[in-house]
């Protein structure tokens, strides 16, 4: 198989899987097997065929169609896109495993539609990852929004429909009003929207126009959840937990911050940003989002809501890394895409397992549950350590490079913001673990433990195994972070 064919096949493969999922809808076991096989084979294509070529310095390209001179629908795989595609395709496997256990354990309806929309979203994510230009990225960015809307409104309740309106309104509104405008402006100014090392805007857009164009990209990419365009993310928590995992770790928000980081590196260029100081304001916008969202997370008793605001905060680490316009900052931001994905998907998996196994959603109701669900809360502990940024977890490396990026940029205030955020994340994550393991199960009026079941009472195996695997994955990323770092160095070196 040629590299060009592999790139095109990676984008189309989830769509081919949809055919089998739809045909096998009356046989759940076969339908879910088809979903798993599609996810596994996609990862094999991405990791087995495309990754070795990118590691060797190649940039496989596939041109599909020319829309206008300098405006093509085309794919080209560079290091950052390679990492995002690895994250999306790899975590699709464990998320599908988890979804089988959760959707059955929670007796969810419309499961075939769920798996179909999930596959559509992954196809969109791979398209975003491999986009050769802003135009192609925009097309697949919108495809992710449209394919995940039915997932957000999955339950069909009034609350789900309201959340869907917020979700679609914010994401489509920002992309059409700002991101599309930025795309057109870039094309008119540079004659192309291609992603090129060093950027394409030097000498084409100058002065305050550069800052305005950057603002259009930053706020037009609503999936990056920069405040004040973040409300869609907490609102979408009415969706089933596998959807939350998709939103927060696999496709949606990572597509947002990936877009911002890729535009900063390949459209603006970090040398141009550093020379003009055009991204300084963006560091402050990201810093505000990091701290404000962390503080809001401290106030939330609902576990998924707390994790949602944690995600809003953690996403801006990646935006901050790119806006610092230093090599270390960009590398730290890129690494955080993978590190945060592994940690946050673990936390959401655990939240869903608690819902299925103990029917609890509020943190204040989780006292003593760690004794009955040790694997679930043990995995939650591992994921928390990674999100906080403590060794031996992968998140410690990305945060280290972000701090070094702030040091290189001589931005002491940003270093303090990153450190304060880690302390705040301890404040909103560790109490969950503390309550679960170190508080007794509550008693009812008759003086007996709340709940008749003694000993282990975990959720079904397929709800517990995935967070255990991803929790271990957080540790693995710590010891193999050099491979992630080595891949991403291609972003900042000729």
pLDDT digits (tens, 9 = 90+) for 15-66: 999 999 999 989 989 999 999 999 999 999 999 999 999 999 999 999 999 9
Show the beta-strand stretches assigned E in 370-491. Answer: none
Contact yes or no for 288/227 (Cβ under 8 A): yes
Q: What local confidence, expressed as pLDDT, does residue 56 receive? A: 92
pLDDT band at 245 (very low <50, low <70, confident <90, very high): confident
Among 122, 10, 90, 99, smallest CA distance to 476 is for: 90
Residue 239 has pLDDT above 80, yes or no: no
Q: CB under 8 Å to 339, separation ≥6 — which residues? A: 386, 393, 394, 395, 397, 398, 474, 477, 481
- pLDDT tens column, 403-424: 999 999 999 999 999 999 999 9
Nearest CA to 91 out of 370, 466, 373 is that of 466
pLDDT band at 451 (very low <50, low <70, confident <90, very high): very low
CB 286 within 8 Å of CB 319: yes
pLDDT of residue 444: 55
Q: What digits encode the pLDDT tens for the residues 116-132?
A: 988 999 999 999 999 99
- For 270-288, how does the pLDDT look when each residue is reduced to its tens digit (9 = 90+)? 999 999 999 999 999 999 9
Percentage of residues in the chain having pLDDT higher than 70 = 97
Tokens read off for 161: 């429909």
Over pLDDT 90: what percentage of the chain? 75
How many Å apart are CA 80 and CA 336, to the nearest integer?
11
Beta bridge partners of 55: none
Tens of pLDDT, residues 144-167 = 999 989 888 887 788 888 988 998
Residue 452: per-residue pLDDT: 42
**Radius of gyration in angstroms for the set of CA atoms belonging to the chain, rounded to a whole number:** 22
**pLDDT score for 494:** 61
Cis peptide leading into residue 228 (ω within 30°): yes
* 47 and 134 Cβ atoms separated by less than 8 Å: no
Give the residue, 317 or 490, on which the prediction is more confident.
Answer: 317
The dihedral sign for the CA sequence 201, 204, 210, 212: negative
- Strand 61-68 relative to strand 71-76, pairing: antiparallel
Q: Does the pLDDT of residue 252 top 80, yes or no?
A: yes
Place of tokens 């959603």: 361
pLDDT at 151 (0 to 100): 86
441 pLDDT band, cuts 50/70/90, is confident
């Amino acid at each position: 198989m040629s590299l060009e064919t592999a790139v095109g096949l990676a984008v189309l493969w989830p769509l081919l899987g949809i055919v089998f999922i739809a045909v096998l809808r009356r046989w759940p076991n076969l339908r879910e097997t088809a979903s798993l096989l599609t996810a596994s084979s996609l990862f094999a294509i991405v990791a087995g065929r495309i990754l070795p070529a990118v590691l060797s310095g190649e940039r496989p390209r596939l041109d599909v169609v020319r829309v206008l001179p300098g405006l093509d629908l085309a794919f080209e795989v560079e290091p950052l896109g390679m990492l995002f595609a690895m994250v999306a395709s790899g975590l699709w496997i464990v998320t599908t495993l988890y979804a089988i256990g959760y959707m059955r354990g929670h007796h969810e309806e419309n499961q075939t539609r769920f798996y179909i929309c999930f596959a559509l979203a992954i196809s969109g994510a791979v398209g975003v990852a491999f986009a050769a230009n802003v135009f192609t990225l925009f097309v697949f960015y919108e495809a992710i929004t449209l394919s995940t809307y039915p997932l957000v409104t999955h339950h069909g309740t009034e609350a789900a429909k309201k959340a869907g309106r917020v979700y679609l309104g914010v994401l489509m509104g920002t992309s059409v009003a700002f991101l599309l405008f930025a795309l057109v402006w870039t094309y008119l100014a540079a004659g192309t929207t291609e992603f090129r090392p060093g950027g394409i805007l030097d000498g084409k857009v100058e002065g305050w126009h550069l800052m305005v164009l950057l603002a259009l990209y930053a706020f037009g990419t609503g999936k990056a959840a920069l405040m004040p365009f973040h409300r869609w993310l907490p609102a979408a928590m009415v969706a089933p937990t596998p959807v939350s995992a998709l939103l927060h770790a696999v496709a949606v928000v990572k597509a947002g911050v990936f877009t911002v980081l890729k535009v900063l590196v390949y459209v603006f260029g970090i040398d141009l940003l550093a020379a003009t100081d055009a991204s300084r304001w963006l560091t402050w916008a990201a810093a505000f989002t990091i701290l404000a969202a962390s503080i809001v997370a401290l106030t939330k008793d609902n576990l998924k809501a707390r994790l949602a605001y944690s995600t809003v905060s953690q996403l801006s680490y990646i935006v901050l890394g790119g806006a610092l316009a230093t090599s270390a900052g960009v590398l730290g931001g890129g690494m955080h895409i993978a590190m945060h994905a592994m940690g946050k998907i673990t936390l959401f998996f655990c939240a869903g397992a608690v819902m299925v196994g103990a029917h609890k959603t509020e943190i204040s109701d989780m006292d003593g549950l760690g004794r009955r669900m040790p694997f679930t809360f043990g995995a939650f502990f591992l994921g928390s350590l990674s999100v906080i940024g403590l060794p031996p977890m992968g998140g410690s490396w990305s945060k280290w490079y972000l701090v070094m990026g702030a040091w290189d940029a001589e931005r002491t205030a940003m270093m303090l913001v990153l450190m304060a955020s880690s302390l705040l994340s301890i404040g909103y994550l560790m109490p969950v673990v503390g309550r679960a393991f170190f508080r007794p199960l509550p008693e009812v009026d008759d003086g007996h433990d709340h709940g008749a079941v003694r000993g282990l009472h975990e959720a079904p195996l397929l709800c517990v195994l995935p967070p255990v695997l991803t929790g271990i994955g957080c540790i693995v990323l710590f010891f193999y972070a050099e491979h992630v770092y080595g891949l991403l160095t291609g972003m900042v070196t000729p």
